[in-house]
Amino acid sequence: MSTFIGMPAARGTGDLQGDRPFPQAAHDALADQQLRRNLGYATATIRTKRAQVVAEVEDWEQLREAGRQIKAHVMARLPELLEQLEEQVTARGGTVHWARDSTEANRIVADLVKATGSDEVIKVKSMATQEIGLNEYLAAQGIAAFETDLAELIVQLGHDKPSHILVPAIHKNRTEIRDIFLAEMAGVRPDLTDEPAELAEAARMHLRAKFLTAKVAISGANFAIADTGTLGVVESEGNGRMCLTLPDTLITVMGIEKVLPTWRDLEVFLQLLPRSSTGERMNPYTSTWSGVTPGDGPSTFHLVLLDNGRTSALADEVGRAALHCIRCSACLNVCPVYERTGGHAYGSVYPGPIGAVLSPLLTGMTGGHDAPNDSLPYASSLCGACFDACPVKIDIPAMLVRLRTEHVDLAGPKTAEARSMKAMRWMMSSPRRFALAGRLSRLGRFAVRRGKPIVPLPPPLNGWTQSRDVPVPQGQTFRDWWLDNHGDAR
């Protein structure tokens, strides 16, 4: 290829799309009473904690604005920053790899693991490696990947899927977690109770030997500082520290949008991220490292920079800001839709409000009626709570509306929606037709009784009345009322 013009859209691949549209998946999730109780309890807990620790920061709004500006600055300078990062990481003894998509990233990581001679790896929780389906790929290559984050461990042991960015097992309560441990965790105490402290202790015992013997670790990164080549992982349990410190080889997979210009920028994100995600003033552990340090930690460090649809999102001037996301999950916890359906209904590894914009931006949309990611921009009431909670001020509602527009444009003029909108435009663009339609609507009074249509509405209109009462049209239109009362004041 000699020119960049006309380069095909580089769509993201991997676990970014479910196998059915959101309304179908949500329908099943809503019927699960236990799931709704678990989610309601957990999201209410975190909302309260977050509100408390955010309220005590008097310059919170200024920090949010700085976070937004830094991220926008990064997107505009991304090529130079990535080149600088590569140069700095390399100068400090690391090796940088580039991956166009999930397939290429998986192959790079598997080859690096094989080169060490190890057939197992320990992992720090990472959205990037979830997105590319790394564990499944490694398993197919004969490499066992052990998740070490407690929630990831619960998901892995329970043969389940993550349902939240920060707490992948948020859909499980303590008793369900205890039952998974009893059934799946070798050597666990048979009298294990569902006390959270006991469950945490069980996880500690279970992973201890693994940490002390592992040769290779795989992590994600919360940020990378371009001018110093410094990578950072923000965590709670110490499993991150174990993975970043004990093995000989460390492989970090990171989306290209995670780069920050300078070390100083950390002062903003180390304030925004912990308070927004776990509702703490600071998370228990944050580790930063620059390349390799002789005698301290891994002797080999690889950084895999991942595109996988990010450049496609970057090309969208409105959607671009979705790449500002720092994966705090505050938008999930405040979302009335997420709180009721949980994360699985979204299909993608990125659920909730940010997932509803990020997933279709990364994979692209088809315009199809049943395409899972085409349905995500509609999985919102547009209430705006996500925008208010976002620590980097991503205007998710505006993006959802923009993506809905794009979906309608892609779907073309033949859909029922497009036809009815066209009819509506015809009716509403003439005062005479509009007045006539208003009078005709009064006939609807005779078709509705006690909120239900007397005659079942034909598809697709019955989709609306399945869960709603039909409002009974008024006996008089506004125009008629106006004429009667103010007819002389025209």
Task: Return the residues of window 365-424 that contact another protein according to CB under 8 A.
Answer: none
215 binds another protein (CB under 8 A): no
Plot region of 235 (φ>0 → left; ψ -120 to 50 → alpha; else → beta)? beta
Whole-angstrom CA distances from 334 to 138, 249, 276, 331, 478 are 35, 39, 11, 5, 38
Q: Rank residues 115 and 200 by Cβ distance to another protein and give the closer one.
A: 200
DSSP state of 305: E
3-state secondary structure of 446: helix
169 binds another protein (CB under 8 A): yes
Minimum Å gap between C-beta 104 and another protein is 6
By CB under 8 A, name the one of 212, 443, 454, 489 that touches another protein.
Answer: 212
**What tokens appear for 149 in the block?**
């984050």
Minimum Å gap between C-beta 456 and another protein is 43
Phi/psi for 248 (5° steps) reads -75, -35
Among residue numbers 303 through 332, which ones bind another protein (CB under 8 A)? 305, 307, 311-312, 314-315
Q: Rank residues 3 and 429 by Cβ distance to another protein and give the closer one.
A: 3
Place of tokens 């994979």: 363
Q: Identify the CA nearest to 344 among candidates 70, 15, 46, 67.
A: 15
Minimum Å gap between C-beta 415 and another protein is 30
Of the candidate spans 265-273, 381-389, 432-440, 442-450, the one that interacts with another protein by CB under 8 A turns out to be: 265-273
By CB under 8 A, name the one of 283, 366, 415, 465 that touches another protein.
Answer: 283
Q: Which H helix or E strand runs over 235?
A: strand 230-235
Q: Rank residues 153 and 379 by Cβ distance to another protein and give the closer one.
A: 153
225 binds another protein (CB under 8 A): yes
173 binds another protein (CB under 8 A): yes
Minimum Å gap between C-beta 398 and another protein is 19
Whole-angstrom CA distances from 350 to 101, 108, 369, 393 are 17, 23, 21, 18
Q: Rank residues 290 and 341 by Cβ distance to another protein and give the closer one.
A: 290
Phi/psi for 235 (5° steps) reads -155, -175
29 binds another protein (CB under 8 A): no
Among residue numbers 79 through 98, which ones bind another protein (CB under 8 A)? 79, 82-83, 92, 97-98
Among residue numbers 227 through 246, which ones bind another protein (CB under 8 A)? 228, 230, 236-239, 241-242, 245-246
- What count of Cα atoms within 13 Å lies in the side-chain half-sphere of residue 221? 26
By CB under 8 A, name the one of 121, 132, 134, 170 that touches another protein.
Answer: 170
> How far apart are the C-alpha atoms of 301 and 251, rounded to whole Å?
6
> How far apart are the C-alpha atoms of 1 and 430, rounded to whole Å?
53
By CB under 8 A, name the one of 84, 278, 363, 477 that touches another protein.
Answer: 278
By CB under 8 A, name the one of 16, 113, 150, 334 that touches another protein.
Answer: 150
Q: Rank residues 22 and 172 by Cβ distance to another protein and give the closer one.
A: 172
157 binds another protein (CB under 8 A): no
154 binds another protein (CB under 8 A): yes
By CB under 8 A, name the one of 23, 284, 367, 438 that touches another protein.
Answer: 284
Minimum Å gap between C-beta 193 and another protein is 12
Residue type, 458: P
Q: Identify the CA nearest to 344 among candidates 45, 134, 36, 11.
A: 36
Degrees to nearest 5, angle at CA 85 with 80 and 86: 100
187 binds another protein (CB under 8 A): no
Of the candidate spans 11-19, 225-233, 338-346, 366-374, the one that interacts with another protein by CB under 8 A turns out to be: 225-233
Among residue numbers 130 through 149, which ones bind another protein (CB under 8 A)? 148-149
Phi/psi for 200 (5° steps) reads -65, -40
Interacting residues of 44 by C-beta distance below 8 A, sequence separation 6+ = none
* DSSP per position, 28-88: HHHT-HHHHHHHHHHHHHHHHHHHHHHHT-TTHHHHHHHHHHHHHHHHHTHHHHHHHHHHH
Residues in the chain: 490
Cis peptide before 460 (omega within 30 of 0): yes
Q: Rank residues 307 and 372 by Cβ distance to another protein and give the closer one.
A: 307
Minimum Å gap between C-beta 348 and another protein is 21
3-state secondary structure of 157: helix
Minimum Å gap between C-beta 156 and another protein is 13
Among residue numbers 439 through 478, which ones bind another protein (CB under 8 A)? none
By CB under 8 A, name the one of 69, 405, 441, 474 that touches another protein.
Answer: 69
